[in-house]
Amino acid sequence: MDLSRFPRRRYTEGATPIEPLPRFSAALAATCPGGRGPEVWIKRDDLLGLSPGGNKTRKLEFLVADALAQGADALVTCGAPQSNHCRITLAAAVKEGLRCRFVIEERVPGSFDEGAGGNHFLFRLLGVESLRVVPAGTDMAAAMRAEADALAAEGRRAYVIPGGGSNALGGLGYVACAQELQQQMFEHGTGFEHVVVGSGSSGTHGGLLAGFLGNRIAIPIIGIGVSRDPAQQAPLVHAEAQAVCDLLGLDLAVPAAAVRCVGGYWQPKYSVPNARMVEAVQMLARTEAILLDPVYTGKVMAGLIGLARDGAFAPGERVLFLHTGGAPSLFAYDSVLLGRGTGLAP
């Protein structure tokens, strides 16, 4: 698949590493049936560029290039109060000399805190132009259009980026990731039986799936839901993967069976901590000194751990965990992660 025909900004030098997690794998195996578990590896997309990076960086390489081609002087996007996507979009705007506005959806009533740390602190430090908070259930597309219209009334030109950067153009970032991973497996002489990824706004999961299908990478992708269970999530991933394939001009119908989503690890609500997330964050930090985040990767790793303990992976199978970043939000959840919080869901 030729991505060179699409404008692209490059925010990362080289490929993100893939690394084995021997101490984590041993700790996990000790809790699996028979004391044996999978061999877990990690792809470090938390090391992507843009202050600090994460999966949205790959999407923004294509989205921001399109914004610049259209003559935009501002980016408008949306997310939750501790949105990694908003933070990285703002970082890209700063890098390109653009302004940036957010519409923040308070998905959990009372969760927005003007004095919060984590990503919210970085919003302010990086200089967000404006931040408008709206209640859960707001039509976010309409709210972002209103921001763009307000800028147009001032004689400016806004480029609207959907939540998570999840559309066909943004999904090309994970087609590029699929190609990068394919080359790394060849260079390392290493294959994987499964890839585990977070599945939320669907751009990462869907884009990676399109890349695997287009490049004939026959490794199943398991998407751990961070906000929905499979009945609601799988159609979103399927639609995103198909949209990416269509944008690339592939004569390919995405098989429904290729979309594998797992639920049950994100409850009680999106961004609300649970005990399995805390265990996963602590376990990786204390075995490999790698930081996960409470909203996305912590719950995704909890899903990988749960699947391993349920026997979903054969002993010794190589499982690649795609680390999509998000560490700054740890500092908004420190009490819970250090055992000083209350009210954790089981």
CATH code, residues 56-165: 3.40.50.1100
Architecture of domain 18-53+167-337: 3-Layer(aba) Sandwich (3.40)
Q: How far apart are CA 201 and CA 105, in angstroms?
A: 14
**pTM of the entire structure?**
0.95
Cα dihedral 75→11→8→147 (10° resolution) = -10
Q: What is the domain partition of the chain in residue ranges?
A: 18-53+167-337, 56-165
Do the domains spanning 18-53+167-337 and 56-165 agree at the CATH topology level?
yes
Q: Any idea which residues carry the catalytic annotation?
A: 83
pLDDT in tens, the chain (346 residues): 899 999 999 999 999 999 999 999 999 999 999 999 999 999 999 999 998 889 999 999 999 999 999 999 999 999 999 999 999 999 999 999 999 999 999 988 888 999 899 999 999 999 999 999 999 999 999 999 999 999 999 999 999 999 999 999 999 999 999 999 999 999 999 999 999 999 999 999 999 999 999 999 999 999 999 999 999 999 999 999 999 999 999 999 999 999 999 999 999 999 999 999 999 999 999 999 999 999 999 999 999 999 999 999 999 999 999 999 999 999 989 999 998 755 454 4
